[in-house]
Amino acid sequence: MSPNITHDGGARRIAVTPRSISVGGHPALRQLEKAGFDVVYPAPGAVPNEQQLRSALRGCVGYIAGTERLSGQFLSEFPELKAISRNGVGVDSIDVDAATRQGISVLTAPGANSQGVAELTIALMLSAVRGIPWHDSQLKAGQWARRPGREVSGQTLGLLGCGQIGRRVAMMALGLGMKVVAFDAYPLETFRPSEDFAWGSLNEVLRSSDVVSLHMPPSEEPVIGQATIGLLKRGAGIINTARASLVDDDSVLAALESGAVAFLATDVFETEPPGRTSLVGHPNVIATPHIGGYTGESVDRATWAAVDNLLQALANQH
């Protein structure tokens, strides 16, 4: 079935919105068709707007969701909907409590994107400390200009959040000769891979780190703001491949301007795409368009998991 085809009839329908699979499809989606479902794509290759999503979800019993926001009021318009399956672990864009009250199962694929996000974290760190984007832009502009970089070996990487992604980042950083100190609300105390790894409090991590990397779930208040930036070593770097809400953009921008923070490398934004902003355009910011889990391997793992979870949930409805 072409991913551009939608169906108007039939009650056994499933909507698919993640951009990574809504253009070109994916072999896992054929399992949905084999199970007798019609697969609809509200906005192939893009995040659907509310009207596109509303039109596509009418009559759907299942939904493989991307990052679109799903309020309880919006979900109440679709009484036939039985299950929402995410091709990742984040559900902060979904009113899970409202979905549960309406009898809609919300399913995730934990760990599917962990390796891709962890590798991007390390890539951003190395790019930032060696100034790779700046040097690349100079050469492309015809300039032979150089700035001294830093070596990460011997430096301390602080992890705010040390779950599946954070632990992978820790192992890679240790392999580069770094020291790692980690904070987690529910630390896995048995994870002590090296004498160069230690658990610490939030403040201990902030005070001791040369680079801080965020791997936490969303929070009501930013974890990195004016007060916590004041705890950092002067010239520390910040990496965010987790959630935009963890970082107060204005505070970080001010710290970049003053030199209190050397760099920000971020893969996540409050509004995506973020457009032209002072933060994205800052010379000491590396910005990537939410590509942490956008590898062939991560997409495969996440899509198969999302499809399997959805089929199982729908089978259990009978």
Residues annotated as catalytic are 243, 272, 290
Q: Rg of the chain over CA atoms, in angstroms?
A: 21
Pairing, β 38-40 against β 13-16: parallel
CA–CA distances in Å: residue 265 to residues 15, 202, 252: 33, 20, 11
- Give the count of alpha carbons within 13 A of 198, CB side only: 12
Report the C-alpha gap between 220 and 246 in whole angstroms: 8
Q: Please tell me the distance from the alpha carbon of residue 212 to that of residue 239, in angstroms, as a whole number.
A: 6
CA distances from 162 to 65, 116, 185, 290 (A): 26, 16, 9, 20
